Amino acid sequence: MLPFQAGILQALPQHASFLSFSVKPIADKDSVIKALQALSTLVDGERVVLGLGASLLQLLGQQIAGLHDFSGIPGSLVPLPVTPAALWCWCRESERGELVHQGRRIRQALAGVFQVQQAVDAFKYASGRDLSGYEDGTENPEAEAALTAAFVQGQGAGLDGGSYVAIQHWLHDFESLEAMSGAQQDDLIGRHKSDNEEFDEAPVSAHVKRTAQESFTPEAFVLRRSMPWSEQSKAGFHFVAFATSFYAFEAQLRRMCGAEDGIVDGLFSFTKPVSGAYFWCPAMREGRPDLAVIGL
Ligand code: HEM
């Protein structure tokens, strides 16, 4: 059994918060280590999934092969904001109230050393739809294929069961979407909102044409765990994709942003990314994240 963080593979929770943190400028290495040790007692991999950023490992004088910060896509025809962070927690609950307590405990453990960079209030919409109404996750790999797509295997203890997660916070413009007919909206995605059926005559700009995982060489599979979010009058989609490296995400994003063939994904006509960051999600050992591989 691969020792991965179980929440990555599980179905989406009803409620979630995505918290990312930066290191306070005054914090030294010892205090960072202490805070991480305190945090790791709260991380069960299921109700709290943990990710570490490249800058944090650098501060600790450590390295994980393949982990680097997101740095955009050269030649992109649309803005792809780059917002690296040191630490990332995905809190997953069936009760919204529990999120408050989880968040409080995490902030306490990190107090004085890390500061909140982004706090996203996310939720499951219907059976797993984006707020545009489209069902998300249909083409996610399942069972054995999901394990293969999401978790490192065959690299040795401490690395096996780990995962690399790409995050993009997308802000929707519902007025633009609603100004389009149903058929125009379906063309943006390449699936019918009504029955989630994929259709052959979708334009090349359709999102599912841009990202078709088998169409890349090598194939580019990811395990997506994105969730809708809202904050007062703003709302959108918090894109979250786990994989064994950042290759698949970058290959898909390169096609989406027009860098490959000058065609921009239809999604950009009603939504845009406002953040972008990469993290490494450690494996588990004895119910806690296995941080031995980074010297903790
Ligand atoms: C606002 C942002 C986004 C929305 C609303 C969205 C929505 C969707 C929807 C509705 C589908 C079709 C159903 C499914 O197979 O899941 C889909 C498929 C997919 N999306 Fe996205 N998506 C977004 C961003 C992204 C980004 C940034 C990437 C990667 C860079 C991505 C990668 C994929 C992949 C790989 C598929 C499956 C394609 C296939 O193999 O058929 N999506 N997305």
Contact by Cβ (8 Å): 79, 69: no
Provide the residue type at 55 as one letter.
Answer: S
Torsion of CA 114, 158, 296, 9, to 10 degrees: 30
3.90.25.10, 3.30.70.3420, 3.20.20.140, 3.30.428.10: which CATH number matches 6-294?
A: 3.30.70.3420
- Residue 8 in tokens: 């990555």
| Residue to mutate, 131, 139, 222, 242, ligand 1, most ligand atoms under 8 Å from C-beta | 139
Sign of CA dihedral 137, 49, 107, 71: negative
| Residue to mutate, 127, 136, 187, 272, ligand 1, most ligand atoms under 8 Å from C-beta | 136
Ligand 1 center–CA 80 separation, angstroms: 16
Please give the sequence-ordered ranges of beta strands (E in DSSP) within 1-157, or none if there are none.
15-23, 48-52, 87-93, 114-123
The number of the ligand 1 atom at minimal distance from the alpha carbon of 252 is: 30
Q: How far apart are CA 233 and CA 246, in angstroms?
A: 32
Q: How far apart are CA 198 and CA 244, in angstroms?
A: 27
pLDDT tens-digit map of 248-288: 999 999 999 999 999 999 999 999 999 999 999 999 999 99
pLDDT of 1 reads 85
Contact by Cβ (8 Å): 40, 271: no
Instruction: Check if 250 has its Cβ closer than 6 Å to any atom of ligand 1.
Output: no
Instruction: Check if 130 has its Cβ closer than 6 Å to any atom of ligand 1.
Output: yes
- Residue 5 in tokens: 């963080």
Catalytic residue annotation: 136
- 203 contacts: CB under 8 Å, gap ≥ 6: 187, 190, 209, 266
Ligand 1 center–CA 211 separation, angstroms: 7
Q: How far apart are CA 122 and CA 149, in angstroms?
A: 24
Instruction: Check if 208 has its Cβ closer than 6 Å to any atom of ligand 1.
Output: yes
Instruction: Check if 202 has its Cβ closer than 6 Å to any atom of ligand 1.
Output: no
- Residue 26 in tokens: 């005054």
pLDDT tens-digit map of 175-219: 999 999 999 999 999 999 999 999 989 999 999 999 999 999 999
Torsion of CA 248, 252, 258, 263, to 10 degrees: 140
Ligand 1 center–CA 233 separation, angstroms: 24
Instruction: Check if 259 has its Cβ closer than 6 Å to any atom of ligand 1.
Output: no
Contact by Cβ (8 Å): 216, 188: no
The number of the ligand 1 atom at minimal distance from the alpha carbon of 221 is: 35
Instruction: Check if 221 has its Cβ closer than 6 Å to any atom of ligand 1.
Output: no
pLDDT tens-digit map of 46-81: 999 999 999 999 999 999 999 999 999 999 999 999
pLDDT tens-digit map of 108-141: 999 999 999 999 999 999 999 999 999 999 999 9
Confidence of residue 84 (pLDDT cuts 50, 70, 90): very high
Say if residue 97's pLDDT is above 90: yes
Residue nearest to atom 39 of ligand 1 (CA): 212
Which of 77, 271, 267, 259 lies closest to 187, judged by CA?
A: 267
The number of the ligand 1 atom at minimal distance from the alpha carbon of 136 is: 16
Bridge partners of 228, per DSSP, are 237
pLDDT of 156 reads 94
Which DSSP letter does residue 191 get?
Answer: B
| Residue to mutate, 208, 214, 223, 253, ligand 1, most ligand atoms under 8 Å from C-beta | 208
State the distance between the two ends of the chain, measured CA to CA, in whole angstroms.
Answer: 23
Instruction: Check if 207 has its Cβ closer than 6 Å to any atom of ligand 1.
Output: yes
